[in-house]
């Protein structure tokens, strides 16, 4: 999908160095996700995955001029009955995001609702702005949620938290979510940029090959697709890699390693 063909207010992709940033860009509509936005996100994910230099993806939102910051108001259910769309199509967004090659960080800079909560959960790590609200209203709308979303909720929230989310539809505060261990950091607006940049720097300093292969294995374990032989093969591959040799040499010489991703 070329830039010229992107619909108005479509999510924006920016790549600089080893970091890709996708920004939801419908602030006047509380960054709700329309069907055109979902297609754009899938195209951006494909671009990020095939750009070998990208090692970190940050997912965030444009909250300019909002009375209270909203990262995403969820899926625009007015498009639910469009041919080929609805919950089954929406499910491809978090599923694709969860399987991406780079480490993914959700920079949750506002409240989040509905299906967008699963997009947040599909990221590897989350940095959250204080005083946000989180709500899953599926059952309040009469909807049984799709299977992989329920699985992700149970994996991140535990069964008790998932029951509260879906069987009461009550909102969670950021502090309640922090107590569940959902965030790498919960920060004030003044700490936001420095905290996010420090996390990105820490990830970029790691051995790229080891991070990439470990992420694959963790995803397979979480989704019940793990094969011990495949995991062992990745272990052997990285133990014979130039990166591991460099890591050991740097440790012995008390210097920062210079990894090459091979």
Both structure tokens of 17: 């160095």
For 184, residues 6+ apart whose C-beta sits below 8 A from its C-beta are 105, 125, 126, 127, 199
The pLDDT score that the predictor gives to residue 178 is 95
The pLDDT score that the predictor gives to residue 131 is 92
b/e sequence 171-201, b meaning 16+ C-beta within 10 Å: ebebeebeeeebbbbbbeeeebeebbeebbe
The pLDDT score that the predictor gives to residue 41 is 96
- Name the pTM for this structure: 0.92
Over the chain (262 residues), the average pLDDT of each successive run of 10 is 59 95 95 92 96 96 94 82 65 95 98 96 97 95 93 95 97 95 96 96 95 94 90 93 91 91 86
Both structure tokens of 74: 């969820």
Domain boundaries, the chain: 3-204, 208-253
- If you classify domain 3-204 with CATH, what class do you get? alpha beta
CA distance 137 to 92: 20
**What are 111's strand-pairing partners?**
70
Both structure tokens of 163: 């029951």
The pLDDT score that the predictor gives to residue 186 is 96
Edge-to-edge strands, sheet with 172-173: 70-72, 111-113, 133-135, 172-173
The pLDDT score that the predictor gives to residue 84 is 54
């Amino acid at each position: 999908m070329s830039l010229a063909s992107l619909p108005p207010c479509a999510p924006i992709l920016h790549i600089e160095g080893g970091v890709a940033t996708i920004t939801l860009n419908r602030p006047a509509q509380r960054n709700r996700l329309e069907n055109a936005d979902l297609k754009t996100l899938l195209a951006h994910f494909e671009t990020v995955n095939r750009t070998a230099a990208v090692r970190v993806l940050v997912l965030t939102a444009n909250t300019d001029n909002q009375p209270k910051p909203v990262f995403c108001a969820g899926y625009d259910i007015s498009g639910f009955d469009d041919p080929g769309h609805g919950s089954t199509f929406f499910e491809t967004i978090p599923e694709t995001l969860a399987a991406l090659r780079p480490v993914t960080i959700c920079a949750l800079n506002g409240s989040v609702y509905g299906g967008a909560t699963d997009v947040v959960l599909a990221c590897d790590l989350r940095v959250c702005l204080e005083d946000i609200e989180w709500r899953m209203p599926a059952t309040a709308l009469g909807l049984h949620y799709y299977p992989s979303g329920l699985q992700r909720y149970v994996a991140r929230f535990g069964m008790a938290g998932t029951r509260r989310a879906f069987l009461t539809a009550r909102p969670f505060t950021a502090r309640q979510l922090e107590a569940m261990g959902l965030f790498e950091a919960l920060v004030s607006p003044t700490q936001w940029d420095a905290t996010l940049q420090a996390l990105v720097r820490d990830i970029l300093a790691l051995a790229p090959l080891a991070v990439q292969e470990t992420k694959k294995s963790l995803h397979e374990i979480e989704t019940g697709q793990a094969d011990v032989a495949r995991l062992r093969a990745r272990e052997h591959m990285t133990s014979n890699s130039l990166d591991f040799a460099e890591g050991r040499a740097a440790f012995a010489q008390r210097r920062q390693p210079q990894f090459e991703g091979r």
